[in-house]
Amino acid sequence: MRRDARRTSIFTRRALLLAGIETLALGGLAARLYRVQVADGARYALLADTNHISARLIAVPRGRLLDRNGDVLAGNRMNWRAVLIAEQTTDVQATLDRFSRLLPLSDHERARIDRELARQRSFIPVIVRDFLEWDEMASIEVNAPDLPGIMIDAGITRLYPYGETLAHVVGYVAPPNEDEADDDPALALPGTRIGRSAVEKYHEPALCGRPGVVQLEINAIGRVIRELDRQEGTPGAEITLTIDAGLQQAVMARLGEESASAVVLDARNGEVLAMATNPSFDPGLFNAGVSQAQWVEWTRNRRTPLINKAVAGLYAPGSTFKMMVALAGLEARAITPHDRIFCPGYLDLGDTRFHCWSRYGHGSLDLRGGLKNSCDVFFYEVARRTGIDTIAAMARRFGLGVRPAIELPEARTGLVPTREWRLAHGHRWNPGDTVVHGIGQGFLQIAPVQLATMAARIASGRAVEPHLTRRIDGVMQPGAEASAWPRLDLPEPALAAVREGMWAVVNEKGGTAPLARLDLPGVQLAGKTGSTQVRRVSREAREHGNFKSENLPWEFRPHALFVAYAPYDDPVYALAVVVEHGNAGAQAAAPMARAIMTDALTRDPAHHGSQAGPRLAASALPGPGETSR
């Protein structure tokens, strides 16, 4: 009896222990079930929904680029492409063979299609041929019964109506690379293109817009069953540029076959009205993909068609820099407008002789005469008296050696050297360096857009900056009014003295640029020629007079430059022209600048298409030193 009672007691304790454990386990399970089904029920319901709802992005049209008159510079057009859905055909290769008999597929294309078919699921479309012409699309549609799995898909592609004329300003788009697509899901959408250069690249965030989202119900393997919801995206912004497409075409025509660049600014506010580089390229080729042969042709061309010479081409400014030397000398009181310097045809400094471009010299000249005759000796001496650091500081105030605030990522800063810069490169500055820089040679490296900015600042007396953006989605951007730009901190008499010298260069007898004189009634242009050597000329060749640059190979000839503004009495337009290896600015660049300025004054884009007649008539005033007739 005692043994049975003890066994019963042990059993009861074990039963109670097991019952307690079971109660705890069931209690924990119940608590967990309560949490899953009640407390967190809504959260898990949402997670369950996402197992069969897929959110996918919807591509939106890229924003258009317009010129100041509303003409489309970069737009969009329908792009037809042929795609293959593998699950809709029993023999993929046979379908591709039949397609290739209609539209031949290269080995490269077949290899790409095979790779994508192997990587994608059978119900996901694979592009067979992009950028179909209308007759190609029609041919595929007519033969659809023989092409199971092939269908036509409509997309959007970038269109550049002006092609090579505006390639360096507008830029181009191209497909994103794999890293970019991984970082941004929107870039993985079929047919997506992103800006790769110029304005297309600079304004990429605004132009690309915001993609939409579509909610799709899918099954376990990812096939779409139905569309549940759609939220349209925001198309890219429409951006109006300051460019006048008609003037741009005219400027490109004036450049002809030369390797050259030209920039036309509104001198009052810095708007870029035309920016031309020749030779150029077709930006549409990058959209579909540039062939290896085309790329080799571009890169081997010594005239560098892919480079925007207007902002990325760097040149010694030559005699166009003499206005900066003059202004620096005037502000430093190293000279006055009436000081005279004698030019015998050379300047001796130590044991080095620096020659004037005129072997016989110019005699005694004041500032006006120095600019008019572009006398090298005059500016050798002014630079020597003034000092390179003072000259460099003045040049930067006029936009030289400073990266322009223009909406082109390719723009370069250039170089205006100082003593400190030279020392940082392991050499001391010497007086001869200063003399050489007095005529715009030496280490100076300036872009044409900077020269145009310099001309605009001389003309307006304001610190205008070149810019290309006029409106974004109809909203006017800052800088359109002249009053938005501060006045230069320079005495008006100093600017007036330089302007008079530039006027004499073109309009006074004996000036270096008579070929730049305008034929428009009552309108005068002020300008300055420049020629910059790209190789040293020996002293013997100079002294014996047997040096002729036109006899040199093209790549060894001097560059030809010209800067100008007009009308002289009421400046509206400023320009710079650089002809690579054009020899003399007076013969190559000045006539080109005259033609371009005539186009600008006649079209008058700065006044939004107003008639040029009244505008020109208002300029019928005599120039400095000229009497009314």
DSSP 5-28: HHHHHHHHHHHHHHHHHHHHHHHH
Res. 521: pLDDT tops 50: yes
Give, in order, the Cα–Cα distances in Å from 252 to each of 61, 259, 411, 592: 30, 11, 20, 11
Strands 346-349, 194-195: pairing kind: unpaired
Mean pLDDT score of the chain: 86
**Taking 50 as the threshold, does the pLDDT of residue 623 lie above it?**
no
Average pLDDT over residues 86-93: 86
Residue 112, pLDDT score: 83
Q: Is 135 helix (H, G, I), strand (E, B) or coil?
A: helix
Mean of the pLDDT values across residues 202-230?
Answer: 75
In the structure, what pLDDT confidence band is assigned to residue 629 with cuts at 50, 70 and 90? very low
Picking from 398, 405, 439, 402, the residue whose alpha carbon sits closest to that of residue 529 is 439
Q: Residue holding tokens 């909610």?
A: 215
CA–CA distance, 220 with 121 (Å, rounded to integer): 13
**Predicted local distance difference test score (pLDDT) of residue 616:** 47
> Is 80 exceeded by the pLDDT of residue 627?
no
pLDDT grade for 289, boundaries at 50, 70 and 90? confident
Question: What backbone phi and psi angles, to 5 degrees, belong to 600?
Answer: -65, -45
- Could you tell me the pLDDT band of residue 617, with boundaries at 50, 70 and 90? very low
Q: For residue 613, is pLDDT > 60?
A: no
- pLDDT (tens digit, 9 = 90+) per residue, 436-448? 999 999 999 999 9
* Span 233-264, pLDDT tens digits: 788 999 999 999 999 999 999 999 999 999 99
Considering only CA atoms, give the Rg of the chain: 36
* Nearest-angstrom CA–CA distance, 507 and 525: 8
75 against 116, higher pLDDT: 75
Residue range 14-34: average pLDDT?
Answer: 75
Predicted confidence at residue 361, as pLDDT, reads: 93
CA separation for the pair 255, 582 (Å, rounded): 12
Q: Give the mean model confidence (pLDDT) for residues 104-116.
A: 86
pLDDT at 609 > cutoff 50: no
| Whole-Å CA distances, 444 to 142, 413, 447 | 65, 11, 10
* Strand order from edge to edge, sheet including 573-579: 272-278, 260-266, 573-579, 559-566, 526-532
Q: What is the distance between the alpha carbons of residues 352 and 218, in angstroms, rounded to a whole number? A: 84
Nearest Cα to Cα of residue 559 among 313, 353, 395 = 313
Count of CB atoms within 10 A of residue 575's CB?
Answer: 29
Q: What pLDDT, on a 0 to 100 scale, did the predictor assign at position 311?
A: 97
More confident residue, 540 or 38: 38
Which residue type is seen at 537? V
223 vs 362, residue with greater confidence: 362
Can you give the pLDDT at residue 231?
A: 78
Token pair 């030779």 in the structure block, residue: 279
- State whether the Cα torsion 109-114-116-121 is positive or negative: positive
pLDDT higher than threshold 60 for residue 287: yes
What are the two backbone dihedrals, phi and then psi, of residue 473, each rounded to the nearest 5 degrees?
50, 45
Q: Across 109-233, where does the E strand assignment appear?
A: 126-132, 150-159, 173-174, 194-195, 212-218, 224-231
The confidence score (pLDDT) of residue 615 equals 43
pLDDT in tens, 42-52: 655 654 555 56
Task: Give the mean pLDDT of 407-416.
Answer: 96
pLDDT at 534 over 60: yes
CB 620 within 8 A of CB 522: yes
The model's confidence at residue 5, banded by pLDDT at 50, 70 and 90, is low
* Ramachandran quadrant class, 341 (left: phi over 0; alpha: psi -120 to 50; beta: rest): beta
pLDDT on residue 622: 41
pLDDT for the residue numbered 625: 44
pLDDT, tens digit, 9 for 90 and up, residues 550-595: 668 877 889 999 999 999 999 999 999 999 998 887 889 999 999 9
Find which of 97-111, 404-418, 522-536, 544-558 is predicted with most confidence, using mean pLDDT. 404-418
Alpha helices in 474-626 (DSSP H): 492-507, 539-544, 590-603, 612-617
Q: Is the pLDDT assigned to residue 506 strictly greater than 60?
A: yes
Q: Is the pLDDT of residue 337 over 90?
A: yes
454 in Cβ contact with 399 (< 8 Å): yes
Which of 441, 416, 460 is CA-nearest to residue 571? 460
Q: Using the predicted structure, report yes or no on whether residue 232 has a pLDDT greater than 80.
A: no
The first and second tokens of residue 606, run together, are 């700065």
Q: What is the pLDDT of residue 628?
A: 31
Bridge partners (DSSP) of residue 264 are 274, 575
Distances (CA, A) of 172 to 80, 288, 289, 388, 543: 20, 11, 11, 41, 51
What pLDDT is attached to residue 555? 78
Q: Supply the pLDDT for residue 133.
A: 84
Q: What is the pLDDT of residue 444?
A: 96
What tens digit of pLDDT does each residue of 146-189 get?
898 888 877 788 999 999 999 999 999 988 876 776 677 777 66
Q: How far apart are CA 234 and CA 202, in angstroms?
A: 19
**Beta strand 469-472 pairing with 239-241:** antiparallel
pLDDT digits (tens, 9 = 90+) for 186-210: 776 666 788 999 999 999 999 998 8
pLDDT at 227: 66
At 90 the pLDDT is: 87
| pLDDT in the model for residue 419 | 96
pTM exceeds 0.75: yes
Any idea what the Cα angle at residue 276 is, between residues 271 and 282, rounded to 5°? 120
β-strand partners of 239: 65, 472
